[in-house]
Chains A and B, each alone.
Chain A
Amino acid sequence: MPSSTRTVFSLIIINKAGGLIYQREYQAGLRSLSTNDYLVLAGTFHGVHAITRSITPKLPVAQTSPALTSPGGSAPVGFSYPNPGVPASGLEHLETEKFRLTCFQTLTGTKFLLFTDPMTGNVDTIMNKIYELYADYVMKNPFYQLEMPVRCEAFDRHLGAWLRGRT
C-alpha cells in the first residue's frame, strides 16, 4: 500500500470559543503557517462551521409521526434535521487536490481538525482514536485547565507514538 493512502499531515484542536488550543504536525507535505495564521485559521473555521450548521435545513415533522396516538390534536409543531436523532453537525469535510480536512466536533463543542492525504481511508477510526487519547490524557489530567491550550506531554507522546505506529 502506498504510504500516501495513510498519511496524516497535522492535527488542530479548537475549543468551543473558537480558540486554537493544540496544533501539531506529523508528516511533512503541507506548508507550515505562522502561529498567528493558525490562530486565524482556527477562528475562521469556527465561524464557518457555525454558519454551515445554522444553514442546515430543518424539515417539518411529518404527519406520520408517533404523535398520532397521543391525546389532543395539538401536536407540537416540531421539526427535525435531515438525519433525525443527530443534531446538525455543520461542516465535516473540506477537500482539495492535495489534502482533506476532516472536522469532528465533540458534544462539548471542541473541534478536532485533521489534515490528511485525500487518499487516506478510515479517517473516522483515526479520529476516534485521537478523541479517545484526548479524553484520557488531556481530560483526566488534573493540571489541564478547560478551554486552555493543551500542554500535556503524555498526550503528545501517546498520540505521536500511535500515529507513527500506524503509518
Chain B
Amino acid sequence: MAAPPRHSAMLSVSNAVGTPQSGSSDKSQTAQPPSTPQPTQGLRVPSNRKTIYDRHLNRSRNAELSRASFAYLFAEMVTYAQRRVTGIQDLEKRLNEQGYPLGLRLLDLLFYRTTTTSSSALSSSSTSSSPPNRPLRILTLLHLIHGPLWRLLFGRSADALEHSVSPDTPNEYMITDNDPLVNTYISVPREMNQLNCAAFVAGIIEGVCDGCGFEAKVSAHNQPTEMWPSRTVFLLGFGESVMEREKVLERAGIK
C-alpha cells in the first residue's frame, strides 16, 4: 500500500481509528473483518462481541415494561431528588432536570422509529418511505408531543391540548393528562400539596421542545376534578425568540 505522503497526512487529520487502511490491521489481529472494533483503544467489547451499535433500535419497540418496577424506580428517583432540597420548587426543578436529557434522547428515537416504520427496512428506496418532517411551527410540535411522544411514553395520547385564552400570554399552551402514569401510586403529603411529581414529565417535554429548537419552560400543575383526582396540566411557555420566529414563519406561509 504505497500511499502518497499527502493522504497519510490526511489520515492523521481525520484521526482514523481502526480504518482498515491505516496500517493497524498489520497488528496481530489477523482474521478480523474490517467492521469489527479493534480492542486497542481501551474499548471493552462484550464477550458476544455485540456492542450497542449491533442492536436494532426497534427491537424493544413493542416490549412491555413492568408497571411496578417503574413505580419503584420512580419512587426512588423522587426520594433521591428530595435529598437536601430547599423547598418544593427546588424539588420540582430537580425532577425536571432528571427528565430533560430523556426528552433530548427520546426525540431522536421517536423520529428514527417513525422513519423506519413507514418503510419496512432502513435501506429501502426513497420512494417508499417519506421520513417525517422536523416540526417547524409550534402547533406541529405540540401535536408531536400530544400524540406520538405520549404514545411512546405512556401507550396512549394525552387527553387535551389547549392554547391559553388570556391575551397576555399568547405563548402559553396546555397539555392535559387526566391520570399521569408517574403519579399513579404517589400521594403527596398535605404540607407539600403544591408539588406534582409529573414535573419529571414536564422535564421530558422541555427536553423535546428545546431539542427541536423551541426554547420553552414547562411546568406541571395539579388540576384535580371529581372524576380525575390526579389530573395534571402541563403548562408550556415558549420563549420570545420562538414567538418571533413563529410570526416570521407564519408570514412566509410555512407549515
Contacts and interface: CB of A to CB of B under 8 A. Distances in A.
Interface of A: 136-137, 140-144, 151-155, 157
Contact of A151 (B74, B186, B189): B189
A156 B206 CA distance: 33
Interface string B174-206: 000000000001111110100001000000000
Contacts of B77: 142
Nearest to A140: B185
A17 to B, nearest CB: 22
Q: How large is the interface on B (under 10, 10 to 19, 20 to 34, 35 or more residues)?
A: 20 to 34
Interface of B: 68, 71-72, 74-79, 82, 185-190, 192, 197, 229-230
Contact of B229 (A136, A141, A143, A157): A157
A151 B190 CA distance: 9
Contacts of A144: 187
B21 to A, nearest CB: 55
B157 to A, nearest CB: 24
Given A142-B186, A154-B229, 13 more contacts: A136-B71, A136-B185, A137-B185, A140-B68, A140-B186, A141-B187, A142-B78, A144-B187, A151-B189, A151-B190, A153-B188, A154-B186, A157-B229
14 contacts: A137-B185, A137-B187, A140-B71, A140-B72, A141-B187, A142-B76, A142-B77, A142-B79, A144-B187, A151-B189, A153-B188, A154-B186, A154-B230, A155-B187
A137 B72 CA distance: 11
A151 B186 CA distance: 11
5 smallest beta-carbon distances between A and B, as pairs:
A142-B78, A140-B185, A152-B187, A142-B75, A140-B71
Contacts of A153: 187-188
> Which of B77, B185, B230 has most A Cβ within 10 Å?
B185
Contact of B82 (A142, A152, A155): A142
Contacts of A154: 185-187, 229-230
Nearest to B71: A140
